[in-house]
């Protein structure tokens, strides 16, 4: 069944991005490069932290941070694995005080190891120094908009918890980002373990094929989709699920799942 998505007013005002406040962490050598990357119509305020350990005391009012694999005054050693480990350690320190602060890693090279570290963090992007002028500002805006939408999703999900809907929000990487407790119960999964789970693991192979070939193109075309398919619980048991599927503006998906009383599956 196809249901046209109603036009709604923006649920939260977009934040004013004509003013940005940056925390530059142990990267003084890149300050001029960073400032050049933003248009003249952006009022950029730069705060600095001499070391990542000092971040806690410099975060007030900050919109995003920039870090580098190597501390100021050191030269790249050419070992991408070491750079990735250094970034991982720095991000771990930042995340203890700012779990969802957008962070851009300014690096000489976007190595596979560095990309893997950034992908696992979720709120971080890598920009090569040679591309900073053309890409840095765009990546910052992307991260800030994603954080705004995530906050909106959390508020929406919190309100739906009271309604008892089994709802899950899937990020653009096809992993569960948020899920209601009812959603977790439907699939027999611990609520805390759901974030990061690929949505395809919650359905049979046939159901995934059906959703990919029929439902997702419908969402891409700007509609919502409603139908029945087969869900798979953590125990391995399957169940007939009535699924309502919609899309968000950042490419995320919203699944609302109810156990169907029908014996026949419409696939």
- Return the pLDDT at 12: 39
Q: Is the dihedral of CA 8, 9, 10, 11 positive or negative?
A: negative
- Return the pLDDT at 112: 92
Q: What DSSP state is assigned to residue 5?
A: P
CATH number (3.40.50.20, 3.10.180.10, 3.40.50.2300, 2.60.40.420) of 19-149 reads 3.40.50.2300
Give the span between the Cα atoms of 52 and 136, in whole angstroms. 20
- Return the pLDDT at 5: 42
Task: Using CB atoms within 10 Å of the CB of residue 21, give its burial: 0 to 12 exposed, 13 to 18 middle, 19+ buried.
Answer: middle
pTM attached to this predicted model: 0.56
From 57, 50, 56, 47, select the one nearest 21 (Cα to Cα). Answer: 47
- The pLDDT averaged over each successive group of 10 residues in the chain (267 residues) is 39 60 90 88 89 86 90 52 88 90 93 90 91 90 84 66 76 87 92 92 96 95 93 94 88 88 46
- Return the pLDDT at 218: 94
Q: Where along the chain do the CATH 3.40.50.2300 domains lie?
A: 19-149
164-259 is a CATH 3.30.450.20 domain: yes
Distances (CA, A) of 239 to 208, 212, 236, 267: 14, 19, 10, 13
């Amino acid at each position: 069944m196809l249901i046209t998505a109603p036009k709604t007013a923006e649920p939260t005002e977009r934040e004013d991005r004509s003013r940005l406040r940056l925390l530059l962490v142990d990267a003084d050598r890149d300050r001029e490069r960073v400032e050049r990357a933003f248009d003249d119509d952006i009022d950029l305020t730069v705060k600095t932290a001499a070391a990542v350990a000092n971040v806690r005391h410099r975060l007030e009012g900050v919109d995003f941070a920039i870090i580098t694999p190597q501390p100021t005054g050191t030269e790249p050693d050419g070992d991408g694995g070491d750079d990735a480990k250094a970034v991982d350690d720095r991000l771990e320190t930042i995340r203890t005080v700012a779990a969802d602060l957008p962070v851009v890693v300014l690096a000489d090279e976007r190595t596979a190891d560095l990309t893997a570290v950034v992908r696992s963090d979720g709120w971080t992007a890598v920009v090569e120094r040679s591309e900073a002028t053309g890409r840095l500002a765009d990546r910052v805006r992307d991260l800030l908009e994603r954080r705004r939408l995530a906050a909106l999703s959390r508020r929406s999900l919190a309100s739906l918890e009271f309604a008892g809907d089994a709802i899950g929000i899937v990020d653009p990487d096809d992993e569960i980002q948020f899920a209601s407790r009812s959603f977790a119960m439907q699939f027999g999964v611990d609520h805390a373990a759901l974030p990061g789970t690929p949505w395809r693991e919650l359905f049979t192979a046939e159901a995934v094929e059906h959703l990919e070939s029929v439902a997702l193109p419908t969402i891409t075309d700007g509609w919502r989709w409603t139908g029945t398919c087969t869900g798979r619980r953590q125990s391995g048991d399957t169940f007939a699920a009535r699924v309502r599927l919609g899309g968000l503006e950042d490419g995320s998906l919203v699944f609302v799942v109810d156990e169907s009383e029908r014996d026949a599956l419409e696939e």
